[in-house]
Amino acid sequence: MTRQKVECLRARTGACGFTMIELMITVAVIAILAAIAVPSYSNYVKRGKIPDATSNLASKRVLMEQFFQDNHTYVAGPACNNDTTSSKYFSFSCPVAATATAYTIVATGTGTMAGFTYNIDQNNNMQTTAAPAGWAAANMPTSCWITKSGGAC
């Protein structure tokens, strides 16, 4: 034993270290802070991934409109047929084939973003058709993309 430890044992003042109660209180405080911080951080990370869908949908809409200007039809438009967009969190598709005057492009969440589904159409109608629990509002808005938990646009 070192001289300091021996003196501490002799003094028996209790000021030589931490008691088990003090350590348990510290652990409890850290656990409470973690229980509050982890869900907030998870929502923050999801919010950071949503623009991957919304920006790609907006870009695909521009491609479709440019195609329409040249061809006077949306049939065989690039965003629905030869889509080369790669996204880590969303897959993009046109679930219904584009017609001469209409199309709908859908972004479906994959992996950690599973449960999110965003749409855009030829009239620039933006809609969130699916969102995970905690993100969806009681009445899902029909004219915007949900970007925050609680259903906020």
Q: What is the pTM of this model?
A: 0.75
Tokens encoding 93: 């598709």
Tokens encoding 28: 């409890």
Q: Is 61 helix (H, G, I), strand (E, B) or coil?
A: helix
Which residues in 68-91 are b (16+ Cβ under 10 Å) and which e?
beeeeebeebebbeebeeebebbe
What confidence score (pLDDT) does residue 126 get?
93
What confidence score (pLDDT) does residue 18 get?
77
Tens digits of residue pLDDT in 22-31: 899 999 999 9
Whether the Cβ atoms of residue 69 and residue 43 lie closer than 8 Å to each other: no
Tens digits of residue pLDDT in 95-147: 888 899 999 999 999 999 999 999 999 999 999 988 888 887 667 666 889 88
Average pLDDT estimate for 46-52: 93
What confidence score (pLDDT) does residue 8 get?
59
What confidence score (pLDDT) does residue 67 get?
93
Look-up of token digits 């259903």: 151
> What is the Cα–Cα distance from 32 to 47, expressed in whole angstroms?
24
Whether the Cβ atoms of residue 128 and residue 116 lie closer than 8 Å to each other: yes
What confidence score (pLDDT) does residue 153 get?
81
Structure-model confidence comparison of residues 19 and 108, the more confident one:
108
Kindly list the domain boundaries of the chain, sorted by start residue.
50-130
Average pLDDT estimate for 59-63: 93
Tens digits of residue pLDDT in 85-95: 778 999 998 88
